[in-house]
Amino acid sequence: MIGRTSFRGDIIYSIFVTALIYPIIGHWAWGPDGFLALMGTPGHFLPSLGQPFRDFAGSSVVHTIGGVVSLAGAIVLGPRIGRKFLRDDKVKGGLPAAHSLPLATIGAFLLWFGWYGFNPGSTLSGMDYIGIGRVAANTTIAACTGSLAALLCALWIGPFKGKFDTGFALNGMLAGLVAITAPCYWVSPLGSAFIGLVAGVVVFGGVYLLEWMRIDDPVGAVPVHGLNGIWGTLSLGLFASGEYGFTGPMGPDNSSPVTGLFYGGGFDVLKAQAVGSFTITVATFIVAMIVMWGVSKLPYPYKLRVEPEGETGPGGLDVFEHGAEAYN
């Protein structure tokens, strides 16, 4: 949504997202009485599944929600002024040049560093030190394979093939991190490598899918967080190794290990993950579209999109909204 969203509009929709979407859907999946957390048990949602919805650190609860809200905002906003898409102009179309790839690289590595609080920290107890180590290792591997897969896709089959694309390397790394966030506790290092590889391919394909749909996503937020949040959530049903149960305040409890399809566990876990991911994705998109549409109808200066001169004037949004240039 960057490049054309007003500062006041951003604050207004953020209030709705943080007050309604995140806490309510987070409670569905993580609350002690959330209907997705209790799914598959007698007397609760879909008892015949026999499995709850699992999302260890938030591929769905954090990232899918963020990606879907981004998608709704980008749809309501429309593309930036002067944005040309590849399907309309094969010579000058495509994403404009990045503002600063060195800054983007620093930011991506800061995110990666932060993920070691995000994923291992979701064990909630240092007593499960084996689980913390496994989660940290899986997080590292998926980030590496995600970056490599996206980089190779751009090198071999992209419209600018033959080039080692830094932007795709960074977004592939973030895609691997997003995807491993849900299954990181229950998969093996080999499983995390495959999850990251698929994530890198998904982010590459997702960028060009949005481009084809004429949806302007300047930073790849929807493929990185939305599509790979979905993929990571589903991947648990495929790659859960059948060795690990759940973390606890006094250490791990592996008496009821989670087993995915590729490890002989059948489709039960995959079906539960699909139901949870679908529920979260659809509910978020409906509410986010209503919120974004509502904010877009507010009078200036509170509406979602900035005035045209804010996009195209000297100094851009920095000067128009904040009265100062970011770089003097």
Task: Give me the domains of the chain, ranges plus CATH numbers.
Answer: 7-322 (1.10.3430.10)
User: Which of these, 164, 284, 270, lies nearest to 222 by C-alpha position?
Assistant: 284
Does position 130 have pLDDT exceeding 80, yes or no?
yes
Given a contact cutoff of 8 angstroms between Cβ atoms, the answer to whether 47 and 15 are in contact is: no
CA pair distance 234, 228, nearest whole angstrom: 10
Given a contact cutoff of 8 angstroms between Cβ atoms, the answer to whether 136 and 202 are in contact is: no
CA pair distance 267, 282, nearest whole angstrom: 22
Task: Tell me the pLDDT band of 206, cut-offs 50, 70 and 90.
Answer: very high
pLDDT digits (tens, 9 = 90+) for 257-307: 999 999 999 999 999 999 999 999 999 999 999 999 999 999 999 999 999
Mean pLDDT for all residues in the chain: 96
Stretch 166-170: mean pLDDT: 97
Stretch 75-100: mean pLDDT: 90
Segment (H or E) for 282:
helix 268-296
Neighbours of 274 (CB within 10 A): 16
Matching residue, tokens 């989670």: 258
Does position 95 have pLDDT exceeding 90, yes or no?
no
Map residue 213 onto helix, strand or coil. Answer: coil
What would the two tokens of residue 210 be? 């949005």
Q: What is the pLDDT of residue 159?
A: 82
Instruction: HSE, CB side, 13 Å, CA atoms: give it for residue 171.
Output: 30
CA pair distance 195, 239, nearest whole angstrom: 8
How many secondary structure helices (H) and strands (E) does the chain include? 12, 0
User: Which of these, 183, 303, 292, lies nearest to 241 by C-alpha position?
Assistant: 183
pTM for this predicted structure: 0.96
Stretch 82-92: mean pLDDT: 89
